[in-house]
Amino acid sequence: MTGAFSDRKQSVSSSTVKLEDAPDPHDLIPAAGGLAWLSEALCLVGEGPSLVIDPGTGPDRFRRGAEAVAALMEGAEISDQVDQPGTGPVVFGSWTFDEDAPGSRLMVPSTVYGFGEGLAWKTSVTFAAGPPAAPAETHRERPGLDPQGWIRAVEQAVQAIVAGKLEKVVLARRTVVEAAEPIHQGDLARRLSDAYPGCFTFCFEDLVGASPELLVRRLEDVVDSVPLAGSTRRGTTPAEDLELGRQLQASHKNLAEHALAVETVVNKLTPFCSELVREPEPSLLLLANLQHLSTKVQGKLKGSPNALILAGALHPTAAVCGVPQDRALEMIRELEHFDRGRYSGPVGWMDHHGDGEWAIALRCALIDGRHAELYAGAGIVAESDSVDELEETTLKLLAVLDTLP
């Protein structure tokens, strides 16, 4: 498709049946080009030819994508023995961080295996006109900065914040590694799921990762988001671990950074909700090598905005961009010296009911044979220390680096 809509009318039909002998979802993910969403509550793996929607670029890309999905699902013939979130035709998606960058994509695979609520199922989808070929990807040079260059970028950002030009900006690093052997996406996804069971492990074409951050979940009329901001390492002993967590929860710098992330989520969700509540104080999300400040936000929806519309309204949050958004984005483009591509953009799925989950594509890598491009970022505020922020991004990079062959 060019833009959001194909020049030939598409229609779909699907059949969802229960599976008695459920395969391991990791075994279904191919060596390359996979579509998968793996969490403790729900696993979805897509395979086979896919119908591709290219939402294009610009501020209306999420709306165009949502309209294309709605047009596709309108009049769809759906047979569903399971009737759970993630049954029927499912759209997988991955979006670039920058609205001006090409590469966002939505895909409806011809086969989806699902696992959740103690059930397993298989959905088979047919496309009346046949799935069109994927649009050509446009790549841009992304040299990035070495560690010393990134430290200087952080120092420039701090100076701008102290001068009152903005309150927060999130700066990312990119590093390139060569693995000892070709990287099999299914094997990498399995290792990430095992190492980070509380995260959302995902595969979308060449992008693989395990994100700790739920951008948005929509199930019927309930919406959830869990912004993260403020991080520290895990301790080597239980006592040290407890003390590091206590220091994080008492850190003025980290609490201020976290408050900005929560505020943006609350402000952006409020117009969609008749009720909206948030945890009064941030809790700790404990991962294998890091702990983060985390706040759960939940609302009751008014009207029926689907998960994709909600993801578009929330992105980019202060957790991956900054405050105010326009100035932070300008600084990111100026200081990072690489195109983020799909890193820190929404990644996830939506079913034909409009239910779905979208995470922020963090702790991830672009995979090409033995070649991997890894990304990590840190929130910069007035109190940030450039060396400490470099150490934080190094720890985040290890989440994927330690799982490569």
CB 185 within 8 A of CB 204: no
- Count CB-CB contacts under 10 A for residue 252: 9
296 in active site: no
DSSP state for residue 250 in the 8-state scheme: H
CB 171 within 8 A of CB 332: yes
* Phi, psi for 288 (deg, rounded to 5): -60, -40
Q: Measured between alpha carbons, how far is 313 from 65 in angstroms, rounded to an integer?
A: 13
Q: Measured between alpha carbons, how far is 232 from 300 in angstroms, rounded to an integer?
A: 33
CB 328 within 8 A of CB 169: yes
Q: Measured between alpha carbons, how far is 176 from 373 in angstroms, rounded to an integer?
A: 5
Among 168, 205, 257, 392, the one annotated catalytic: 168
Among 213, 336, 373, 392, the one annotated catalytic: 213
CB 89 within 8 A of CB 352: yes
168 in active site: yes
Q: Measured between alpha carbons, how far is 196 from 58 in angstroms, rounded to an integer?
A: 34
CB 170 within 8 A of CB 319: yes
Q: 83: closest CA among 131, 38, 17?
A: 17
Q: Is the Cα torsion angle 393, 395, 399, 400 positive or negative in sign?
A: positive
CB 188 within 8 A of CB 367: yes
Rg of the chain (C-alpha set): 20
Q: Please list the active-site residues.
A: 168, 213
